[in-house]
Amino acid sequence: MAVCIAVIAKENYPLYIRSVPTQNELKFHYTVHTSLDVVEEKISAVGKAMADQRELYLGLLYPTEDYKVYGYVTNSKVKFVIVVDSSNTSLRDNEIRSMFRKLHNSFTDVMCNPFYNPGDPIQSKAFDGIVSGMMVQPS
Amino acid sequence: MESQEEKPIIYTMENKPIVTCAGDQGLFTSLYTPLAQQLPREPMEWRRTYGRAPKMIHLEANFVQFKEELLPKEGNKALLTFPFLHIYWTDCCDTEAYKGSVKEDMMRWQNSLRAHGSADWVIVVVETNDAKKKNKTNILPRSSIVDKIRNDFCNKQNDRCVVLSDPLKDSSRSQESWSSFLLKLRTLLLMSFTKNLGRFEDDMRTLREKRTQPGWSFCEYFMVQEELAFVFEMLQQFEDALVQYDELDALFTQYVLNFGAGDGANWLGSFCAPVRSWSGLLLRRPIDMEKRDGIQHGEASLLDLRSYLFSRQCTLLIFLQRPWEVTQRALELLHNCVQELHLLEVSVLEGALDCWVFLSCLEVLHRIEGCCDQAQLAANCSHTVGLWAYATDKLKSLGELCGLVSDKGPTSEDLNRTVDLLAGLGDERPETANSLQSPYKKLKEALSSVEAFERHYLELSHAAMEMYRAIGRLRSARLVGKSLAEFYMRKGDPERAEAFLQEALKSYVSEGWSLPVTHTRKQIAECQKLLGRTEDYLQTSALLAGDVNLSSEERKHFCQEILTFASKSTDKSQKVILSMGAFAQLTRLQFHPATASVHSGADLQVELSLQSLMPVSVCVQQLAASIHFSLEHGGTHGRSKGTQKQTNIGTVDFSQGNLSACPLSSSAAGPSLELDEIQDRSPSDNSLNSTGMVCKNTHLVMRRHDSSSSPDTPNCVSPPTVALDDGAHMLKVQDITLEPGSNSVVFTAPSGDPGTYTLRQLCATVGQVQFVLPHIYPLVQYEVYSQEPLLTVEPLSEPLLAGLPQMVKFTLLTGHYTVKKGDALQLSNTETMPIMPSTSCTASIRNTAADLVGESLLSIQSSEKVTSISLPPTPPYHTLEFQLEVLCIIPSGSDRPANERLTNGEVRHRPRSYSHPDTPMTAIDQRMSIDCPWSIYSTLLALTFYIPFKTKHSLLSAGNRKYIQVCVQNVSDVNFQLVDVKLTEKQHASLELHSLNTKAQQLVCSKQSVFCLWEVRWKADLPSCLQCVFSANFSPLNQDISAFKPFHYHFQLERVTTLYSVQAEILPAAGEQHCRSGALCGLEVCITRLTEPGENEMGEESKADSDGLKTTKLMYEVADSSSNWAVCGKSSGMVSMPMLANATHKVQIEVMPLFAGHLPFPKIKVLKYLPHTAAPAIQPDPDSCVENDSLSLLDKTLDDQGDTASIRSRGSVHSVGSGEQQQRGLAMPRLEPFSPGQVFNHSHARQVLVLPATDDHIMEVNAT
């Protein structure tokens, strides 16, 4: 399960960012922000290859000693970043993918809300619930 | 086993598969060199088991002499020393020799092979021509020896015996022989590989399946599988070799994970031993025997195993030319190891892992550098940079651990720790002992002193940062920079730290990451405080004080920092100017009144809504808004009006991103266009000259966006230096307290001079600190105007009807003028529009907001020429309204008095009536001239009245009797009553007009007409010209008698007297009672002169006949427009009428009715014929319409009764083409019609019964 989940706008500002050990929030912000480097690198690399049939899932962006950072980018260039604890070895690539898919679906719902102004921070309870379900439960 | 222990054949690069050679050693030795050379020359396809892809492989072999000991014993799993093929060499060509010795030898060889279960052998029979020659006499055919051998040994395996002919000769036969031999050899070798490796793999798998059994050891299995890897490596199959190691890696990893999940294997115990050595990876040797032995003996630690595995993988990857995979795997490995140690709960000395990681990183980097050139390295930064950054990170934490970062230097405790750490490194490896830059030396040096540490750390940091920059990972570079900044801060070098922090902050701000922004800004604040940069520090503090990401204590702390500074009473008068964005935000501005446009001197209040971002309430000594004043002119007037229309009236909302959560998409997307409409009006009459659109914020829109920080954002990195402009005009409020959150501040705006006032800056002064909002945007303006007095008159109800008293409203906008007591409006009187005196005329005074301020009675004094209205005193910029009743007299016809002068000397403009396109009513523009007290010029105003009636008259005759009909049509929307309808004649008193109207009062509804009729009676002579006046009184329906107003209509009738009477009679054909259709009838026209000729008639249109009798020529014409009649023969003709009363002329014309029934008589026209002599002398009366109707008679022969048919035809031609002038100039004879009353037609509208023609049609009716 994830320790941090972030949704980042096309312009690279955070739309939503939540992490589980709240005392480490700052560190996750830095981590997610830095991961944008790799996201951009991957998007531009893929963009050259094939623009239309793009795989949204970007895979492991970069590992650190403590965390693994995975990326996903929607067609509208909104980025999802999931940070997973490195010690959590039970998570397979497929599970990460399905997490992203779930996140994307929920994000789509948020965007469909006529009262949501695209570009604003996400404050949807439904989205929050989906994210909570994917996060490590603080014990 | 023993042999292996004696000489461990492990240097795999030099290893080749072992092939033993038995038999004739001398022969083999002679052939060894070409064999060893040629064997690997051609590749062979190796088909693999388990569906693995076939491979092309170059075979090599290590040929050794056959010894029994070489054959593997039972249970020996060693593959490297395994002989894959056994060759028996012989060149025996002598049957005897074969039978005597060779066969026996072969048997022995075969038996020993069989004893060890080795089926991979081949017998090579070498034939030489020399041998043949030597034994020429007593030889058997050579094939027989080979056959014998095959017979004896190769039981059904003929391919196990190969013939090699003349191997040392250079002939084609020998070549062929060689190649087939080599092919055979290779095939056999591969077969052996397939078989033996397959068997080995099967064994290995079996062993692996046993891993759940107790007593299974990973290390043992490791050795087995590694053996396979070695063989693959020996066969140059690095890919396959790597797979073996990867499988081992995965297996081990799985065990560790299982252990973490609680499923521990016994053998893992050895790996859980505390880590004692952290000497890092060693990648310079192909095989690290030291570690391998450790693994073999189950003494290796986890780090050892991992190190060994990775070094093998690294070696193979480099063989495979995949150095970048090494770096990637290295990073994974290092992370993984750290995790695994943690998972296995292996006790590690603090910092030891950091040492290990650091050394390993550098080792990998060195290894990669060793096998790539600089260009390659530079191009593949992205692969190595992770290791650099990781190493940097680790060195930093080591430095912190060993007290090398603090400015005081390491404590003794730190030193002890350092010593422990260095002890774990062990001795330097011999491979790197001579290298100056070995990772080992670097680490030792770095840990030895503060200075050395700093040097190494900076070197690494900068290297990592540059690489990140080079590959465009700017965020990562900045993060390293931030970490460097933290280092500098620890070292007490805030100046350098700040540069890095600022750069990082810029990036966070531009991308809207608030938490990193707050954190970095806090660090910057610390730097700035240390550096003593007060202004910057205060600015940063202000930003932090308003930062919701911080706790309220922190915010209060920073707020207090500002307040403390502000309250310091320094002698320096210089104040610190800070950007207001951090302190408070202007959210809304409201004008009272909302139009933001007042006349000069009026009250205008501006209410500011300020959102204070400070955590505590702050006393502001002064809040001031500077104002820019510009004189109003035509162009700007229109523009400012446009602004007011666009925005919410009187309220300007400032949209600014929330300071805390600031995804300032606007900063990324750029500001939105602010468009405005401008209208350029001509200064003279305020008419529109041009209009257009302007973009008011081009300076923002067109700005380059690459500079990522936009100074308008509240999160600006370094707030722009704000310039205070000290305008003459200021909105000021003293001593207010801004509470956290929303505050409302009301200013009273100056409104002295007319013009446009633009709010420019806002400045809050708190002691020594001034918070300045350098630009108020969007533009906020208010207008102060000065207005000329304006008088307008407009109808109270539309339309104004002439002839009736109507109310008009006078509106006076006083503008800047104060109406004093005694001021009066002087209206010049006109008799066409008198002002009705009224007793109670009230004026109301309203202010600009249209509230009633006062009312007073007006006094109106009328003199002969002037009506004077004295106005009540009215303050400036008020509206004075009153109503007056006026009457526009309907102009009654043609009498036009001479121009008069008005009292002011102007030429009176006669009200001129004209028809208005919108209404059927005739309109009259009535001008008024008013003298106003504020101007020396008269004000001219126009009112438009509409005449409600249209009047027509007509003269009717009956023989000699005359009637006058007047039609009054009501064209207005109002119903009227008409009374006292009268018709009078002005000139002829003898004339009597006898009214035939029965009703005294007549209702004329809207859009209806009323007809009135009078009979004209006269005594002596009927005058030929009558001047008539129709008069009536009218009033709107249901009003009392006093409301009746007169209406007059003047008209003139001329040539009233009846001159001729025309009588027509239709006579049926002779013998008939009635006319019949289709039968000719006679039309008898009788024209009779009724009166004696008048004087003028005599002179004008008669001439003396030859007999002295005066005659007039008349032309008659019978025309039937409705085609009821056919005129047979001539239809027109000329008659000469004697000018005597009762002179009669009869004309007979034949006509034929075309239809049956009551047919109207054909029309008979009588016209005056003017001969050509008379024409030039007499100008036709301009009022008559002779010219239009006359026929021009060109033919002079038509003096008498000519052919009228030809006249008509010619006339019609010429009437179209010829002009009247030509006609006159040529003095043509003309026809002139009579006036309506002059000819009376008795038979007008008479009808005659026409019977159908005799019915000669037969109608047959058949009934069947």
Report the alpha-carbon distance of residue A2 to residue A14 in Å, rounded.
Answer: 17
Report the alpha-carbon distance of residue B1004 to residue B1001 in Å, rounded.
Answer: 10
On whether the CB atoms of residues B983 and B1030 are closer than 8 A, the answer is yes
Task: For tokens 């053996």, name the residue.
Answer: B227
Give the HSE-up count for residue B1136: Cα atoms under 13 Å, Cβ half-sphere. 14
The rounded Cα A101 to chain-centroid distance in angstroms is 10
Burial class (CB in 10 A: 0-12, 13-18, 19+), B2: exposed
User: Strand B651-653 relative to strand B584-592: parallel, antiparallel, unpaired?
Assistant: antiparallel
Helices (H) and strands (E) in chain A, counts: 3, 5
Q: Which CATH class is domain B2-199?
A: alpha beta
Give the HSE-up count for residue B639: Cα atoms under 13 Å, Cβ half-sphere. 19
On whether the CB atoms of residues B21 and B41 are closer than 8 A, the answer is no
Inter-chain CB proximity A89 and B512 less than 8 Å: no
- Beta bridge partners of residue B947, listed in sequence order: B922
Report the alpha-carbon distance of residue B546 to residue B658 in Å, rounded.
Answer: 11
Interface residue of B255, B335, B482, B548 to substitute, partner A, most A CBs within 10 Å: B335
Inter-chain CB proximity A86 and B339 less than 8 Å: yes
Weakly modelled stretches of chain B, pLDDT under 50: 1-12, 133-139, 634-647, 657-670, 705-720, 894-909, 1099-1106, 1174-1225
pLDDT at B461: 93
Burial class (CB in 10 A: 0-12, 13-18, 19+), B863: exposed
Q: Name the minimum distance, in Å, from the CA of A70 to any CA of chain B.
A: 15
Residue ranges of the alpha helices (H) in B1005-1159?
Answer: 1095-1101
The rounded Cα B82 to chain-centroid distance in angstroms is 78
- Beta bridge partners of residue B887, listed in sequence order: B805
Looking at this protein, which amino acid is placed at residue A83?
V
Contacts 24+ apart (CB under 8 A), B694-700: B694/B639, B696/B778, B696/B779, B697/B671, B697/B673, B697/B777, B697/B778, B700/B670, B700/B671
On whether the CB atoms of residues B1092 and B1137 are closer than 8 A, the answer is no
ipTM over 0.95: no
Structure tokens at B1114: 């008349």
Residue A86 with chain B: CB contacts under 8 Å: 335, 339
pLDDT at A103: 94
Report the alpha-carbon distance of residue B344 to residue A20 in Å, rounded.
Answer: 25
Looking at the structure, give the CATH architecture of the domain made up of residues B1060-1251. Answer: Sandwich (2.60)
Residue A65's CATH number: 3.30.450.70
Report the alpha-carbon distance of residue B483 to residue B837 in Å, rounded.
Answer: 96
The CA distances from residue B215 to B249, B298, B301, B775, in Å, are: 20, 13, 19, 81
Tens digits of residue pLDDT in A43-73? 887 666 555 566 888 888 888 888 899 999 9
**How confident is the model over A11-36, as a mean pLDDT?**
89
Enumerate residues 6+ apart whose C-beta is below 8 A from B392.
B457, B460, B461, B463, B464, B480, B483
pLDDT at A49: 58
On whether the CB atoms of residues A127 and A106 are closer than 8 A, the answer is yes
Chain B residue at shortest CA distance from A68? B335
Number of domains in chain A: 1
Same fold: B791-894+910-947 with B1060-1251: yes
Inter-chain CB proximity A11 and B668 less than 8 Å: yes
Residue B516 with chain A: CB contacts under 8 Å: 26, 29-30, 33
Largest alpha-carbon pair distance within chain B? 194
User: From 2.60.40.290, 3.40.50.2000, 3.30.420.10, 3.40.50.300, which CATH number describes the B791-894+910-947 domain?
Assistant: 2.60.40.290
Residue A25 with chain B: CB contacts under 8 Å: 515
Write the residue in A26, A34, A63 that is nearest to B475 by C-beta: A34
pLDDT at B663: 38
Note whether B1253 contacts A: Cβ–Cβ < 8 A.
Answer: no
The CA distances from residue B417 to B347, B402, B519, B802, B1161, in Å, are: 16, 7, 32, 117, 146
Report the alpha-carbon distance of residue B667 to residue B1108 in Å, rounded.
Answer: 116
The rounded Cα B352 to chain-centroid distance in angstroms is 59
Report the alpha-carbon distance of residue B413 to residue B434 in Å, rounded.
Answer: 32
Range of the domain at A53: 2-134
Note whether B470 contacts A: Cβ–Cβ < 8 A.
Answer: no
Residue A16 included in any domain:
yes
Task: For tokens 């104002």, name the residue.
Answer: B627
Report the alpha-carbon distance of residue B844 to residue B703 in Å, rounded.
Answer: 56
Q: Name the minimum distance, in Å, from the CA of A85 to any CA of chain B.
A: 10
Looking at this protein, which amino acid is placed at residue B207?
L
Residue A26 with chain B: CB contacts under 8 Å: 515-516, 519
Report the alpha-carbon distance of residue B980 to residue B34 in Å, rounded.
Answer: 154
Q: Name the minimum distance, in Å, from the CA of A100 to any CA of chain B.
A: 22
Interface residue of A18, A30, A36, A40 to substitute, partner B, most B CBs within 10 Å: A30
pLDDT at B1104: 47
Note whether A26 contacts B: Cβ–Cβ < 8 A.
Answer: yes
Closest C-alpha among B130, B125, B128 to residue B174: B128
Structure tokens at B458: 């900076």
Report the alpha-carbon distance of residue B111 to residue B118 in Å, rounded.
Answer: 10
Domain ranges of chain B: 2-199, 544-785, 791-894+910-947, 949-1054, 1060-1251
The CA distances from residue B1001 to B449, B801, B963, B980, B981, in Å, are: 130, 21, 21, 7, 8
| Fold that domain B949-1054 belongs to in CATH | Immunoglobulin-like (2.60.40)
pLDDT at B1093: 66
Q: State the pLDDT confidence band at A101, using cuts at 50, 70 and 90.
A: very high
Structure tokens at B551: 């706790």
Residue B669 with chain A: CB contacts under 8 Å: 11
Residue A139 included in any domain:
no
